[in-house]
Amino acid sequence: MKLVHTIEEVRDHHDATRAAGRRVGLVPTMGFLHSGHRSLMEAARADGGFVTVTIFVNPLQFGPNEDLDAYPRDLDGDLALAEAAGVSLVFAPSVKEMYPDGEVLTSVRVRGLADQLEGASRPGHFDGVATVVSKLFAIAGPCRAYFGEKDFQQLQIVTRMAGDLSIPVEVIPCPTVREANGLAKSSRNAYLSDTERDAAAVLKRALDSAVAVIEAGERSAASVELGMAQVVATEPLATLDYARVVDARTLETLDRLHGTLRLLIAARVGPARLIDNVGAVAD
Ligand code: PAF
């Protein structure tokens, strides 16, 4: 496995890979890798291509009062995990390498999809994500790129962005990896104490109870959302941001539930803001 820090080095490696008839699979990350990221790398490996992982804590996607400086970083640990997962190349650029002019004048915005849910709570976040991911696609020229369903809205936005801009990449969704108590794996779980980690399992309990209610025939979005909020309210260490049930493709609100749905939840537990989601179907 090779570690590179410049765009030119990535292009050289990928040009040689493609010239040798191999496909490039890209796993974009912000580092502090865990088994959720590892599952993305394993999916890329299983597809048989040359696997490149990017590690870049992208300042564009953090708001002024968010955790950019405090965001956990561990390059040595990340390299060990990536190597064990069979990754071929790690691209860990500096901010200067990615944004040499400092100010970035170009922004990629996926209207509608980026404005609700996480986008409403974190204005500008998804513009930062879509901008850096389109830049990573332009740098790496991957055939496939692997994203976790844990960040479901991000996955929808990246998929739509690649389609709208005719970027020749297949975006591959990968299932959420969870702790034994149901908590979705996230780099931000590092902020949690053991007690808070136990408390954070309430998010998945709220999602599961909502799926059960939908399966039992409930078709009112408001009732399902209220039910999720009530489950979260049973956990004193958790403060709900939103609990929503939406159309899985458009992320639009539905009064009466029908079709393929996504249930999404965000809550603060101790110092961490956590998100999670699951799918459901209403016939
Ligand atoms: O999901 C993440 O880690 C980031 O949002 C991503 C896709 C690597 C873009 O910075």
- Residues 12-52 have pLDDT tens digits of 999 999 999 999 999 999 999 999 999 999 999 999 989 99
Is position 77 within any domain? yes
Q: Is residue 180 part of a domain?
A: no
Residues 53, 136 contacting (CB under 8 angstroms)? no
Strand, coil or helix: 256: strand
If asked whether residues 25 and 114 sit together in one domain, one would say: yes
Q: Mean pLDDT, to the nearest integer, of 92-118?
A: 96
What is this structure's pTM? 0.96
**Residue 137 placed within a domain:** yes
Check whether residue 134 and residue 270 sit in a common domain: no
**Centre of ligand 1 from the C-alpha of residue 137, in Å:** 13
Which residue's CA is minimally distant from atom 9 of ligand 1? 129
Q: Report the percent of the chain where pLDDT is more than 70.
A: 100
Q: State which of 149, 174, 199 marks the end of a domain.
A: 174
Q: Looking at this protein, which amino acid is placed at residue 16?
A: A
Answer whether 133 contacts ligand 1 (Cβ < 6 A).
yes
Give, to the nearest 10 degrees, the angle between helix 7-19 and helix 125-140.
50
Cβ of residue 149 lying under 6 Å from some atom of ligand 1: no
Residues 112 and 51 reside in one and the same domain = yes
Q: Reply yes or no on whether the pLDDT at 138 is more than 90.
A: yes
233-277: pLDDT as tens digits: 999 999 999 999 999 999 999 999 999 999 999 999 999 999 999
64 lies in a domain? yes
Q: Is residue 179 part of a domain?
A: no
**How far away, in angstroms, is 139 Cα from ligand 1 center?**
15
Across the chain, the runs of DSSP E, i.e. the strands, are 2-4, 24-29, 50-55, 89-91, 144-148, 170-174, 238-247, 259-269, 272-282
32 sits in the region (left: phi over 0; alpha: psi -120 to 50; else beta) called left
Over residues 56-65, mean pLDDT: 96
In the chain, how many domains are there? 2
Is the domain of 138 the same as that of 204? no
Q: Could you tell me the residue range of the domain that residue 194 belongs to?
A: 187-276
pLDDT value for 49: 87
Do residues 145 and 137 make contact, with C-beta atoms less than 8 angstroms apart?
yes
Q: Ligand 1 pocket, 129 CB below 6 A? A: yes
Do 121 and 197 sit in the same domain of this protein?
A: no
CATH number at residue 250: 3.30.1300.10
Helix/strand/coil for 72 = coil
